[in-house]
C-alpha cells in the first residue's frame, strides 16, 4: 500500500487552506493547522468555533500551494458527526427476495388459470375481479401523475411569473481566468459600478466588483490585498433569494474548483 501524501506542515501553519472535497455538515471550508502528529492533523475552522482531527491516511492528493488559496486534497469524502470526521457511507437498499408461490387450497381443481391475451395482456387486466380492480387502480394512479405533470407544464409555460428569468444580461465573465487581477478584469469588463473589499480571517482577502447593469458580481481572492485573482462570478439581480449564487468558477489542477468557496462565501 502506498504511503499517504504528507501535507507541508510549515506551509499549513502559515496560511489558511481548503479541503477538496469539502467536509460534509460543515458550512465553511476554510481551515488552519493547529497541531500535527505522525497519525493525524488537528485543524481549526477559521469561521466557526470548531476543531477536528483528520487521520493522515485520508490525505491523498498533493496540495496546490501556488494557487490563490491552498487546496488540500482528500482521498475520501468525509462528513462531520458526533464531534469527529468519518468516511461518508452511502446506504444501499436491498432488493426484496423471491415471492413464495401460493398454495392451492385442498379440494381445488388443478387447472391453471389462462394467461390473458390481446388488450388484457397489454393493460395488465386479467380475467378475475381482483386483477381488474388492481389494473384500474394502477391506471388511475398513472393518469393522475400524467395530469399533474401536464398541469405543472401549463403553469410554467403560460404564467410569465413562473418562468425562470435570466439573471445576467451577458456572459462576458466566461472570458475571465484564474490569472486575471483587478486591472485585467477592468480591461475585459470595464469599470464596475461598485467595488468592495473584505478581509477574511488569516491571510485571505476578497474583492467584489459589482456590475449592476449586467446582473453579476466578479469575485477576486488572494493572500494579499494587492494580489487578489479571479475565482468566480456570483449572481446579482436585486432579488435577495436569487442573488449570490455561483454562475462561473475556475478549475485548478487535479480537478479541484472554486465552486465550494463561492457557495460558502458570506455576502459583503
What is the pLDDT at residue 94? 63
pLDDT band at 165 (very low <50, low <70, confident <90, very high): very low
CA distance 211 to 218: 8
Q: Check: pTM over 0.85? Answer yes or no.
A: no
User: What is the sign of the dihedral through the CA atoms of 78, 84, 89 and 91?
Assistant: negative
Averaged pLDDT for residues 93-107: 60
Q: What is the pLDDT of residues 9-39, one digit of tens each?
A: 777 777 888 888 899 989 898 988 888 888 8
Return the beta strands (E) in the chain as ranges.
Answer: 17-20, 31-36, 40-45, 51-55, 59-64, 70-74, 78-81, 84-87, 194-199, 205-211, 216-222, 229-235, 246-249
Instruction: Tell me the CB-side half-sphere exposure of residue 117, using CA atoms within 13 A.
Output: 2
Q: What is the mean pLDDT of residues 172-190?
A: 94
Parse the chain into domains and list their residue ranges. 9-87, 172-264
The grid cell for 166 is 435570466
Per-residue pLDDT of 60-94, as tens digits, reads: 765 666 567 788 888 888 999 888 888 887 766 66
Give the integer Cα–Cα distance in Å for 42 and 84. 11
Using CA atoms, how far apart are residues 143 and 150, in angstroms rounded to an integer?
A: 11
Amino acid at each position: 500500500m502506498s504511503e499517504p501524501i504528507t501535507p507541508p506542515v510549515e506551509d499549513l501553519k502559515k496560511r489558511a487552506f481548503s479541503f477538496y472535497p469539502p467536509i460534509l455538515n460543515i458550512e465553511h471550508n476554510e481551515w488552519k493547522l493547529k497541531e500535527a502528529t505522525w497519525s493525524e492533523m488537528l485543524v481549526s475552522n477559521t469561521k466557526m468555533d470548531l476543531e477536528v482531527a483528520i487521520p493522515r491516511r485520508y490525505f491523498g492528493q498533493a496540495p496546490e500551494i501556488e494557487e490563490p488559496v491552498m487546496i488540500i486534497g482528500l482521498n475520501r469524502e468525509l462528513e462531520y458527526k458526533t464531534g469527529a470526521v468519518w468516511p461518508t457511507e452511502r446506504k444501499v437498499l436491498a432488493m426484496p427476495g423471491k415471492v413464495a408461490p401460493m398454495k392451492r387450497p385442498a379440494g381445488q381443481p388443478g387447472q391453471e388459470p389462462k394467461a390473458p391475451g390481446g388488450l388484457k395482456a397489454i393493460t395488465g387486466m386479467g380475467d378475475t375481479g381482483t386483477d381488474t380492480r388492481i389494473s384500474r387502480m394502477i391506471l388511475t394512479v398513472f393518469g393522475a401523475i400524467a395530469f399533474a405533470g401536464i398541469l405543472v407544464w401549463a403553469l410554467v409555460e403560460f404564467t410569465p411569473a413562473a418562468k425562470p428569468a435570466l439573471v445576467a444580461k451577458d456572459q462576458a465573465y466566461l472570458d475571465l481566468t484564474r490569472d486575471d487581477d483587478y486591472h485585467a478584469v477592468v480591461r475585459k469588463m470595464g469599470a464596475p459600478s461598485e467595488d468592495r473589499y473584505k478581509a477574511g480571517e488569516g491571510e485571505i482577502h476578497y474583492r467584489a466588483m459589482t456590475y449592476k447593469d449586467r446582473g453579476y458580481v466578479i469575485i477576486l481572492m488572494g493572500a494579499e490585498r494587492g494580489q487578489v485573482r479571479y475565482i468566480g462570478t456570483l449572481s446579482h439581480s436585486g432579488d435577495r433569494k436569487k442573488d449570490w449564487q455561483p454562475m462561473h468558477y475556475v478549475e485548478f489542477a487535479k480537478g479541484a474548483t472554486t465552486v465550494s468557496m463561492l457557495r460558502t462565501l458570506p455576502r459583503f
